[in-house]
Chains A and B, each alone.
Chain A
Amino acid sequence: MTASAEKSTMNRREFIALTAVATGELAAFGMSGWAQNKLELDPDSVTNTDYVTDVLVVGGGMAGLFAAVKAHDAGASTLIVSKGRLGSSGLTPFAKGFFTYDPAVESMSIDEFTNAISRSALGTNNPVYTRQLAEHSLARAKELREWGFFDQTLANRPFMVPIQERGIPLIERVVITHLIKENGKIAGAAGFRLDAEETITIVAKTIILCTGAGAFKPNGFPVCDLTHDGTVMAYQIGAKVTGKEWNDGHTTRSVNPAACYDNWGDMFNRIPSTNGVEVHHDLGVDLNYRAYVTGNPVSGGPGGGPVTEEVAGGPFVPEEFQRDFGPPSGGPPGEGDAPGGRPDRGGGPPPGEGGAPGGPPGGGMAGSTMGGASAGMAIHKAEGLVPVDDRCASNIPGLYAAGDALGSYMSGGIYTQIGSSLAGSAVQGAIAGEAAAEYAAQSKVPAIPDTRLKEIINDILAPLRREEGYGPAWVTQTLQGIMIPNFVLYIKRAAMLKAALAFVEELRDHHAPMLRAANMHELRLVFETRNMILSAEMKLRASLMRTESRCSHYRLDYPDLDEENWRAWINIFKGDDGSMQLEKQSFDSWPLQ
């Protein structure tokens, strides 16, 4: 029986019974809404440990690895903290293509490469960061090769080589929740451990956010631990943030859509490899557009399957970068950091990354191809802190970001160079590490008043002390229901964006402050949920402001490029009254400080 036949034969009583079962299941998994907090620990017995360092690296992926190594090698005392395990959290474990620009091999000069990226990105890239990627990628690949990165499938092993050689302190499974600014400069950070009833406070001269980007814990792509933590913490202390209107385009399958491994198995199992210049304009959102116009409003969603006819309109692809993906390959691409491309072309997306043509089938997954697997994530290197220079510095002295936590626009508002995501994180991590070490060498150890630290620790523990409140998992699912539908996040128009914004403001004002946590795991979910809510607000406001369509941002009510008004990025910052403010910054310029 097909799904639609099932639906049509279901009577009202059966529907109610099913709903009751679903609700019961939610409660069983701790997904109740407002409820009593069944506390599993005593918040008053939570201890605190403090640390002091020159450079604090937050995040243990590719960017964090190089940030720590280079900061240490430049003479700074360096500490890495990670929400997960080094090399086994965020997107690093799954990205296997590493772009290198080798002048001995490439026929394109670096100038020509940078220009090709700019043409594909329709001007949205920052050519300074694009060029930097090409100039430094080969050196980073060489170091990774020495550590054994290109000989394995489990990145923790090679990542630990330089960390252990240098004796760089590493604290894993720590959730950083607050950045601390004193006298206008970075002074430290605070958070808590997952495995102990313990908060931690860190006095740091500089901080490098290598926290990755984020999404809405979507189904079908391994980004459920990425919740814009760095971006939102930095926004809260006055950093400028950018890139929120763009959309990553990875896909999943309609049967067991949450099964990341089953859909992307080859990518998980593959040994990393390098690849040369290969500039694309892989949208992903063109599949979402096709889904919207061929089925959505009428029949509740398209069935996918082979494409028999073209649809009119939709996202613009420059003629130079239009591709024919050929016969169906039967599964998602084989690499980690290429968007799904145009899997509508017969159920098989374009070839994978890393110079390995012909995306192999997934692990036998069934069902039609479906967009939105990475819902909530923008284009790699496009969203995050606004850089004020070419060394990954933010507008807050002492605060740096690298990789997917930096809105460097290395690639632009579209994923352009294959394999650039992983390589870009390595390149920027190294640059930020050296820049932060230099800054630290000229700075004194900051002082953070005890009263301020106590206030922050109280804020961290507040969800544990709440006698009743909203469950973070329930609020997250409510947010997903608002933000993930194709007609909100991908195919945008003003009325729908404003409607979603009203819902998100409600979550921000009346749910985020009343989240409860029974244990340290739920405490993590509380902060992740809050960060996703603020990122949702940013995405909706930036999408409303950008009254044109360009790259991965598509407005149904403004379907064309607007070269007169929109050769500009959107920066987001917290206004003096606490409200979210947005401003334009012209392409090819740095923000005013």
Chain B
Amino acid sequence: MTIKSINGCIGCEECVKSCPCDVIRMDPDSKKAVIAFPADCQICHLCRMYCPVDAIEMSPEKSIPVITSWG
């Protein structure tokens, strides 16, 4: 599931801003970050690295079929 979960979000938006692929958005009601577009996650961990409270858990698996050069 690429970016896997966000638990303990404090609503600072660091992860939303730091994601190069626009995967994370703020929930307008809860004012917390949510995984909005997981298929576009490139598993770079920038969101996790910028998160000040270690709220983000990652997985090495992509959520959609992966196309590679071979194999």
Contact with A along B36-68 (1 / 0, CB 8 A): 111110111110011000000010111111111
Q: Report the minimal beta-carbon distance from B7 to chain A, rounded to whole angstroms.
A: 19
Contacts of A368 in B (CB 8 A): 71
- Choose from B21, B44, B50, B68 the contact partner of A252 (Cβ within 8 Å): B68
Most buried by A among B39, B46, B49, B67: B67
| Interface SS majority for chain B | loop
B36 touching A486, Cβ below 8 Å: no
Q: Report the minimal beta-carbon distance from A372 to chain B, rounded to whole angstroms.
A: 3
A256 touching B60, Cβ below 8 Å: yes
Quick one: which of B2-23 are within 8 Å of A by CB? Answer: 2, 17-22
How many residues from B make CB contacts under 8 Å with A? 32
Contact with B along A435-474 (1 / 0, CB 8 A): 0000000000000000000000000000000000000010
A272 within 8 A of B: no
B18 touching A372, Cβ below 8 Å: no
Q: Report the minimal beta-carbon distance from B65 to chain A, rounded to whole angstroms.
A: 6
Contacts of B69 in A (CB 8 A): 288, 291, 370-372, 375, 484-486, 489-490
How far is B36's CA from A295's CA once the two chains are assembled, in angstroms?
40
A88 touching B39, Cβ below 8 Å: no
A30 touching B20, Cβ below 8 Å: no
A31 within 8 A of B: yes
A521 touching B67, Cβ below 8 Å: no
B46 touching A256, Cβ below 8 Å: no
How far is B62's CA from A486's CA once the two chains are assembled, in angstroms?
21
Quick one: which of A206-224 are within 8 Å of B by CB? Answer: 217-220, 222-224
- Choose from A156, A224, A489 the contact partner of B21 (Cβ within 8 Å): A224
Contacts of B60 in A (CB 8 A): 256, 258-259, 261-262, 365
A481 within 8 A of B: yes
Contacts of A260 in B (CB 8 A): 42-45
Q: Provided the pairs A481-B67, A485-B70 are in contact, do residues A256 and B61 lie with their beta carbons within 8 angstroms?
A: yes
Contacts of A300 in B (CB 8 A): 70
- Choose from A156, A259, A490 the contact partner of B18 (Cβ within 8 Å): A156
How far is B66's CA from A556's CA once the two chains are assembled, in angstroms?
27
Contacts of A274 in B (CB 8 A): none
Q: Provided the pairs A219-B68, A296-B70 are in contact, do residues A90 and B20 lie with their beta carbons within 8 angstroms?
A: yes
B39 touching A473, Cβ below 8 Å: yes
How far is B69's CA from A254's CA once the two chains are assembled, in angstroms?
10
| Interface SS majority for chain A | loop
Contacts of A259 in B (CB 8 A): 43, 60-62
How far is B62's CA from A25's CA once the two chains are assembled, in angstroms?
12
A372 touching B65, Cβ below 8 Å: no
A178 within 8 A of B: no
A307 within 8 A of B: no
Q: Which residue of B lies closest to A372 (CB)?
A: B69
How far is B31's CA from A307's CA once the two chains are assembled, in angstroms?
53
A172 within 8 A of B: yes
Contacts of B62 in A (CB 8 A): 219, 256, 258-259
B37 touching A486, Cβ below 8 Å: no
How far is B45's CA from A480's CA once the two chains are assembled, in angstroms?
23
Q: Provided the pairs A224-B40, A256-B61 are in contact, do residues A371 and B70 lie with their beta carbons within 8 angstroms?
A: yes
Contacts of B22 in A (CB 8 A): 84, 173, 194, 521, 524
B43 touching A484, Cβ below 8 Å: no
A154 touching B45, Cβ below 8 Å: no
Q: Which A residues lie at the B interface, using CB under 8 A?
A: 22, 25-26, 29-31, 84-85, 88-90, 93-94, 153-154, 156, 172-173, 194, 217-220, 222-225, 252, 254, 256-262, 268, 288, 291, 295-296, 300-304, 365, 368, 370-372, 375, 473, 477, 480-481, 484-486, 489-490, 521, 524-525
Q: Which B residues lie at the A interface, using CB under 8 A?
A: 2, 17-22, 36-40, 42-46, 49-50, 58, 60-71
> Can you list 26 A-B contacts (CB < 8 A)?
A25-B65, A26-B64, A26-B65, A29-B63, A84-B17, A84-B18, A84-B20, A88-B46, A89-B20, A219-B67, A222-B20, A223-B42, A224-B20, A224-B42, A225-B20, A260-B44, A261-B44, A268-B46, A268-B49, A302-B70, A372-B68, A372-B69, A375-B69, A473-B64, A477-B65, A484-B68
